[in-house]
Each structure stands twice: as structure tokens, then as C-alpha cells.
Structure 1
């Protein structure tokens, strides 16, 4: 009785907040009462397995969020008559199969869509098709794609525009003279240390700014960084720069990033569930590089959106050639880089949105293949027991 009353009170409190929409309209989110850890424990890799899983599917409880509203007509994901069969592959000197990969890499959900039809859908660790799971850096690719949408809409003139045309507060900072393209490629030349577990890294300073929940604290941090190289001369992975991209989308469109994503993609393309997105402060700006929480099927639908070159009902909401440009291997500082407009570039023309702990949206255009995957690896990076890229290559081959 006490638990039922507690849930009812929680639901009443949630529904009393303006703008809050339950992601599952027919019933309360079934994971909502699970105990969770803290955000510092997440980045430190100091959560025991059960608590880690609870936290990953309840990240909306860690910070203020904004809803990304789904549409009323979900894009169907029909099941194929063909099913993915078990397959074997080599990784780091050993042989593995599908079951090994899911168990050893702590895969929490895997959805495979071949030629528009589901050939495999499996949930683990207590998840199901209604579970929302953290994206981490997967959302970088989504944020960057919204720049293309804003260009198509005429809010941003060109990727070659200076960033300060849209964000004048960066004039005089290390970002002065950086183009939108260089920002998207993480080739700004601005100094940044991405080490998640280093308490004095720039990434952890950004996390502390996020924890402070003070409006504009992250952008203030970014504006205070030093220049390490001329713009366009060096590639350096920076989560902070995706928050700058989010601020760019917000400034150019005049809409919150979540609302713009909902209006242009999440609703029209047919995502079936509302998502939530971390904010830098209550009512503030979305964290461009992490904090989207959505269902596995909707992550897969975003992969289909990219596979279809950003077309919705026969009309492209991205500029002509954007997907090809965003997923082409750039040369930065004389070196070929496996990173496009915040998409990782893989073998055989495939590309992927990738997040720490093992989150993926994988797109293989030549094979008409999309894979969405959740994982709960014990540390942010370096704890994939089986090589994920070799697994994805083998999966693609198994379906040919």
C-alpha cells in the first residue's frame, strides 16, 4: 500500500510540472522507482552492475530535462521473415559468437534492421521496448545533424560561416575565427582534455559546471579555454564543443534544441516515444554532447533517418549531399581523420554515433543496415571485452 501511494504521489508530482509528458502514455514508467547512483559515480566507473543499469535507464532523474515530444504516427518497424542467425567471428585472438558478445560486453539491448525490417531485437538486464536508455555521446551526432537541418531551413547560411556570426559571446575567445565546419569536425584548435576519469580534466570541469546547474556555466567554461593550434589544423575530441554546437542551433533557430529536434525529426519521422534531454539548468539549454534518453527503437529510427538521407515523406530536411558530407573522411592537419560531422567513420562506408559504456547507432548504407545497441560496460572506455567494430563487421557480413 505504501509503495502504491508513493508511486501515485510521484506521478501526481510529475504531472504537475508544466510541459512534462509521460513517455509511456498508458502507464507509469516501470523503472521510475529504481535506486540510482550519482553522475560522478557514472563517470568514475564506480557503480556496481545492478545500480549502474538502473542509473543508465533513469538518467532523467540526475538533472533537469526537457521533453523531446514524439509524433502521433510512429514509423512502423515490421518484422522480417528472415532472422539473424548466430555467427562466429574473431576478436583479439579469440573466437566469439553473438551470445558471447552480448554477455561479455554487457549488452542491454540490440536491434538490427535490414532493408527496413527487424531481423533481431533482444533486450537484457531488465530492459524492454519501453525502456529509455542514456545516449551519452551518441547524441553528439544528433546535435550535429540539427545544424544541417538549420542550414536547410535557412537559419544558418553555411558551414563556412564563422561561429561568432551566431554566437557573438565567443568573440575574443579561442573560438574567434573558428568556422561552423571546424566546430562540427572538432578541428577548432581549442585546447581540451577529454579524460573522463581524470578529476582535473576539462571534461570533468564541464561535468562540474553541469552539476552546478547554473545557466550558461558550460558556455562560460568553453569561452575561457586557450587555443592550442590554428583553427582547422588539428583534430581533438571535445565533448564541450558539442555544447557549443547546441548553443549554435538554439541561437540560430530561436528554439530550444529539444523542441527543434521534436518539430523537425522526432515527430515527423515517427519516433514512437517521448525522449528527455539534460539541461544545463532548470529551463536552460540542452547538453549537446550527452543526456538524451530514448527507447532503443527510436535510436534505430534515427539511424533509418540518416540511411534515408534525411528524407521525410519524400522531402529532405537536410541540404543536398549533407549525409555524404557529414560522413566523409576529412583531412585535418595533413592527416586523414575517422570523424566527420560528429559521426565516427568505419569500414566499408559505414558510420556510427558512439557513446561511452557501449552505446551505438550504426549505419551501413551499402548493406541497407541499421543497428542500435545499448551496453553497460563497467568503465567509460576501454572495457569492451569483445571488439565492437569487429562484431558489427561480422554482423553485416552474416546478413549478406
Structure 2
């Protein structure tokens, strides 16, 4: 009995030592996984969204060495009477309104600051759309109807085999992907753990092997489609996304603060939702888009790409929000009104006819509740109409 207890004790000690060794060498991955598990918790979400670089692998997007571009201050506007109530109810952390290219309102809430580089989540998709428009105009892409495997052979045999670039731009790939953020076992949360643990986003995409519809037949918002768009851009150019985005968009914009991407363990940018920048710099991007891709004497993004990517072209359901090439078009919106949109209350709302750009960042844990998005759009429309 005594001999057995001695061996059990030795075995337990060995297991403990093994666990300590694994914990030591995997401490960064464990820290990131713990950060993911508490990323959206009520007491941490605001600070987390301003400091994503504390928990995730990142890659700077160089702003270049050029001067900061002007973002002048205009006459302060009087916002609609219910704006403060909306800000409080929707946990808005910043609100910036541009009218005719001038700041007419700028405010920061819940302890955030103007210099905070806030995570934009799926706002990043619209950045990638703009980048794609540039490289297509430069001749790196033949046609929107080219199959993605032409540029990314690693996707041959996956659910993306037979999918075109147009399909992924419009979210009509037909690839099965569960986007339920509240389900621990959903695909979107599995993807988040791949990111946190330093895995490969490319490998995750290539491992998807199931479709719910034929390519082009059905619209379904699938975030991983945008990662595949990034793979196409990389395959077509032989360059990575942060360097391309820096050269083609970020440096020409003249941002105030250098932005950054979240990355996976291979250093690949989390292009579908990992851009972090200040509210003013999001506004610069939005104003450039509102001006048809033109910014301070230079055509950054081709005007025809802005026009074609921001109109409703995807086969969304009738009387529902509409979709273009990685841009959203609100229900009943007039021509020239569209937006970039991210979870938890991130928006770049563009109203070209009124020459208005509205940027919000937020920490709204009820963002998926019925009617919340409609309330936000109604608020943006009221602000734009009041100018």
C-alpha cells in the first residue's frame, strides 16, 4: 500500500510538472484565450475595445512619414433632442459628425479618449473592399467572375472551390458558417479561438468543406468570405494586406495615429475585422469614400469602384437591409447612402447627397436585440437631416 501511494505521489508530481512546463511555454496563448473569453464582459468591454493590442498579436499599418491631413472644425451643430438618450442606451463610446468635410460634432464617452485606437470589427471589411478596388484597377485581378482558386490554389477541394470573387464580395459564397456570437461552438467563435491561440486563419478557411447553397444563389452574411477576399488579394499581388493597405490607402490619407491589425499566429492580418484606429481617422476614410475616393488632390480609390461597391447588388431578402461589395445599404435608403458596420455599435455612415459622414464606436452588448440597428439608422438619419 505504501509503495502504491509513493508511485501515485510521483505520478501526480510528474503531471503537475508537465502542466507547469506546458503552461510556461503556452502562457501567451493561454493569456490570449482568457482575454477572448472576457473580451465582451460588461466591466471590461470598453477598455478592451480601446486596447486590443494588449491581448492579441498585432501588426502595424504604417501611416507613412507624410503630414497629417487637415480635418477642419466647422460650426458646432445642435444634435437632435434625443441624441444623449440614444448615446447612453446604446453605450456609444465616440460620435463624430462631418458636414462638408468639417467636424461639426465630436464627443467621447465612457472614459474613452480621442487618441484611442478603437477596434472597428467588420468596418474592416469595407477597408478591404476599397483596397480590392485599387488592385483590380491596377490589373492584378482579371475579373470579378474569376474563381477564387485561380488566385488561391490552397482552397482547391474546400467549400470555396467553384466560388467566384463576386460571390465573396457579395457574401453569396454558399459556404456553411455559423455567425452566432452567443454560441460558444459557432464557427465565428471557433475562428476567434484560432486567432487567440495563434493558429492559421488561412488553414481555418481551407478546412471549411460544407455548403448550404450553390455559389451566387443565396445571400448569407459569412465573415470568413472576407478573409478569403484577403487571400485573393495576397495571391494576386504577392504582398500582404498591411503593407498594401498602408501604401494604397493609409499613407495617402495622412492619418493622425498609426493604426494596426490584429493578426493570427502566422502574422496574417485579421482582415475581416481587425483594424484599430482613432475615430478621427475612421472619419478621414469615410470622407474619402464619400468624395468618390478623392482626397486632397489625389484619387485614392477609383470612383467607379466606389459607385459599384456601395450600391445594393447582392440578392438580399425583400424589405431587409441590403448589401453591395462589403458595404451595407440601409432599408429605404436613397442613392448615395451606405455604411460600414461592425458588431457592438461600430459604424461609418455615409450620406453623399447631404455631404455627411457619421462615425460611431461603441460597446453595446445588446447590439443584436431586435430593432437596435433600426434605431441606430434612424438616429443617423435624424442627425444628417438636422445639418
8 Å CA contact 2:293, 2:303 repeated in 1: no
Deviation (angstroms), 1:224: 2.3
Change (3 A) 1:245 1:385: closer
Contact 2:316 2:322 in 1 (8 A): no
Which of 381, 390, 399 is equivalent to 2:368? 381
Go from structure 1 to structure 2 and tell me whether the alpha carbon gap of 1:348 and 1:149 turns closer, same or farther (over 3 Å shift): same
Deviation at 1:318, TM superposition (A): 3.2
Task: Tell me by how many angstroms 1:198 deviates.
Answer: 0.6
Q: Distance in 1 between matches of 2:343 and 2:174?
A: 23
In structure 1, what is the equivalent of residue 281 of structure 2? 298
> Is the 2:349–2:359 Cα contact (8 Å) retained in structure 1?
yes
- Give 5+ residue unaligned stretches, structure 1: 1-35, 89-96
Q: In structure 2, how many angstroms separate the alpha carbons of the residues matched to 1:155 and 1:178?
A: 18
Runs of 4+ in 1 over 2 A off after TM superposition: 216-225, 311-320, 331-337, 378-386
| Match in the other structure for 1:323 | 306
**2:128 counterpart of 1:143:** yes
| Uncovered stretches (5+) of structure 2, i.e. residues with no partner | 1-32
Match of 2:115 in 1: 130
Task: Please provide the CA RMSD for this pair.
Answer: 2.1
Contact 1:232 1:333 in 2 (8 A): no
Distance in 2 between residues matched to 1:345 and 1:56, nearest whole Å: 25
Paired position in structure 1 for 2:48: 55
Question: Partner residue of 1:391?
Answer: 379
Going from structure 1 to structure 2, the CA distance change for 1:331 and 1:221 (only over 3 Å counts) comes to closer
C-alpha displacement of 1:257: 0.7
- Distance (Å, rounded) in 1 between the aligned partners of 2:377 and 2:148: 34
Equivalences for 1:27-46 in 2 at 5 Å? 38-42=35-39, 45=40
> Displacement, 1:334?
8.3
Task: Give secondary structure in 1 for the equivalent of 2:353.
Answer: helix
Is the 8 Å Cα contact of residues 104 and 385 (structure 1) preserved in structure 2? no
Q: Compute the displacement of 1:48 (Å).
A: 2.4
Contact 1:69 1:273 in 2 (8 A): no
Equivalent position to 1:342, from 306, 322, 326: 326
Determine helix, strand or coil for the equivalent of 2:323.
coil
Please identify which structure carries the higher helix content: 2
Which residue number corresponds to residue 75 of structure 1? 69
Q: Distance in 2 between matches of 1:84 and 1:103?
A: 19
Tell me if structure 2 keeps the 8 A contact 1:69–1:274.
Answer: yes
Cα distance in 2 for partners of 1:398, 1:260 equals 38
Match of 2:159 in 1: 174
Question: Quick one: distance in 1 between partners of 2:366 and 2:35?
Answer: 14
Task: Report which stretch shifted further, 330-339 or 264-273.
Answer: 330-339
Number of residue pairs matched by the alignment: 349
Distance 1:124 1:320 in 2: 35
TM-score when normalising by structure 1: 0.82
Give distance in 2, aligned partners of 1:203 and 1:361: 23
Alignment check: 8 A CA contact 1:189 1:233 kept: yes
Q: Residue 356 in 1 paired to residue 336 in 2?
A: no
